[in-house]
Structure 1
Amino acid sequence: MARTGSNPVITPMSTMEATQFAAEQIRKAIIEGHFKPGDRLIEQQLTDMLDVSRHPVREALRLLAREGFVELKRNKGASVSAVEADSVTEVYNIRVALGKLALDYLMATEDRLSATDLKRLEKLANNAVRFAELESQEETVHNDLEFQQAIIDATGLQRTIRYFSELTGDVRRFNNLLGVVYTDRKGDAESYVMKLFEAIRDRNLREAHAIWQAKFAKAAERYLSIIERGNSDGASKII
């Protein structure tokens, strides 16, 4: 093998890298609904599918259990977690808090929101109105998540960015699993995206906070209503 000094140019995947790889692949399959709530996640099958050893798969399942995607039970192994009302409430409460933190930071001084970031938000806000006219809601959902993340990204606060981004996986899973249908996309685009952009542009912190809170409260309410009615497989209500 070619070498540079005493170090090989190509090195094998470490256990940590293999664990992260396995976790990413399993998480993606759960978010996209390929692994459904209640499905057993058998280590040997996963090692064969991912072409990694058993230890990284075991560690990946433990990591995903901490994230809430997987449930581990003694003598029963791992299975895909159900979407519960408490999980939805927790995820949205955290996203609300992180968003308000981001808005506070961006509006603390005039120079924190760059012209480039403001232009990106304006483009996404305009897209929200435009995509609301399309028959499919897929572009609307994707654009809305990107708009939310763009606000967070504009802060440059790495922990806030990371935590918010990680929770987006939960939101995508809620949406895919619960099958939310957005019946007033134009109204939502105007009330919760365009008006939020305008509040940020005009440095109206109180208005931005109010819209952000209302936007996420309505989103959580949609999911909780579906869980309450029991209209979706794999969703449950904590009693």
Structure 2
Amino acid sequence: MTQMESTQFAAEQIRNAIIAGHFQPGDRLVEQQLTDMLNVSRHPVREALRLLAREGFVEIKRNKGASVRAVDADSVIEVYNIRMALGKIALDHLLAEPSRMTPADIKRLEKLAENAVKFASLDSQVETVRNDLEFQQAIIDATGLQRTIRYFSELTADVRRFNQQLGVVYTDRRGDAEKYVVKLLESLRDGDLRTAHEIWQAKFSKALERYLSLIDDSDSDGASRNSVGVKASRPSAR
């Protein structure tokens, strides 16, 4: 592998380990240990940690090294506002000319909407979360807008990290599947941009509120959100 490929490989492996919870907030990320674990040289690991710091997964402090960054309110608000805006761009683009959605796009969305209802009855919420993220991405992918697709996809890693670190529990999966997935698909089929926007806005606003309800903001007036703790055991409606 080239140096750049090694860096990307190391970043992907460390990022996935953080998302999966193998590294917890505050855990130190020691370069030599990561080098041994990933079987790459030290330089790509160092560059990977810098890349992950720019993405918000890691924080690097002088004389202390790198550690896993905890989820904070500012990050959640930023990620969800961007994803919400990208979704509206996608909806505007798709419904400006309904023919932009191909039969294959519709078929993919129909299958995901069907799965959303089916998975809501399962004991585990894992498939519901995976399917919902794929449904969102399918709408974005249908636009063919490469920057929108790339930015939205990249931020999905943050959403997975939020879910893992905050211990999110979805309590009304059936209702949400019908309200935010099936109804959104219907609005796309009908070419109803206003309703599609309203559903997308409501869906992401609810998600944002859900995450923020799990974050204990130490500054009660909301002026600063730089130091927050996580209430990992507190359930929240989806």
Q: TM-score, normalised by structure 1?
A: 0.90
Give the match for residue 168 of structure 1: 156
Instruction: Give the secondary structure class of the aligned counterpart of 1:107.
Output: helix
1:40-95 deviations in whole A, cap 9, x for unaligned?
A: 11111111111111110110000000000000111111000010011111110000
* Count of residue correspondences: 221
Instruction: State how far apart, in whole Å, the 1-side matches of 2:10 and 2:124 are.
Output: 32
* In the alignment, structure 1 residue 56 sits paired with structure 2 residue 56: no
Instruction: State how far apart, in whole Å, the 2-side matches of 1:134 and 1:55 are.
Output: 45
Give the match for residue 188 of structure 1: 176
The residue correspondences of 1:40-189 to structure 2 (distance < 5 A) are 40-189=28-177
Instruction: Give the secondary structure class of the aligned counterpart of 2:184.
Output: helix
8 Å contact 2:168–2:232 — kept in the other structure?
no
Give the drift of 1:133. Answer: 1.2
Instruction: Give the secondary structure class of the aligned counterpart of 2:216.
Output: helix
Give % identity. 76
8 Å contact 2:87–2:140 — kept in the other structure?
yes
Counterpart pick for 2:13 among 25, 46, 71? 25
Instruction: State how far apart, in whole Å, the 1-side matches of 2:138 and 2:121 are.
Output: 22
Return structure 1 stretches of 4+ with deviation > 3 angstroms. Answer: none
Give the match for residue 231 of structure 1: 231
Instruction: State how far apart, in whole Å, the 1-side matches of 2:31 and 2:105 are.
Output: 44
One-letter identity of the residue aligned with 1:149:
Q
* In the alignment, structure 1 residue 39 sits paired with structure 2 residue 27: yes
Deviates more, 1:221-230 or 1:167-176: 221-230
1:135-172 deviations in whole A, cap 9, x for unaligned?
A: 21111111100100000011111111111011000101
Please tell me whether Structure 1 or Structure 2 has the larger radius of gyration of its CA atoms.
1
One-letter identity of the residue aligned with 2:231:
N
Give the drift of 1:110. Answer: 2.5
One-letter identity of the residue aligned with 2:122:
L
Q: TM-score, normalised by structure 2?
A: 0.91
8 Å contact 2:117–2:174 — kept in the other structure?
yes
| Aligned CA-pair RMSD | 1.1
Counterpart pick for 1:217 among 199, 205, 216? 205
Instruction: State how far apart, in whole Å, the 2-side matches of 1:67 and 1:166 are.
Output: 9
Instruction: State how far apart, in whole Å, the 1-side matches of 2:7 and 2:36 are.
Output: 14
**Structure 1 gap ranges (5+):** 1-12, 234-239
One-letter identity of the residue aligned with 1:72:
I
Instruction: Give the secondary structure class of the aligned counterpart of 1:228.
Output: strand
Give the drift of 1:210. Answer: 0.6
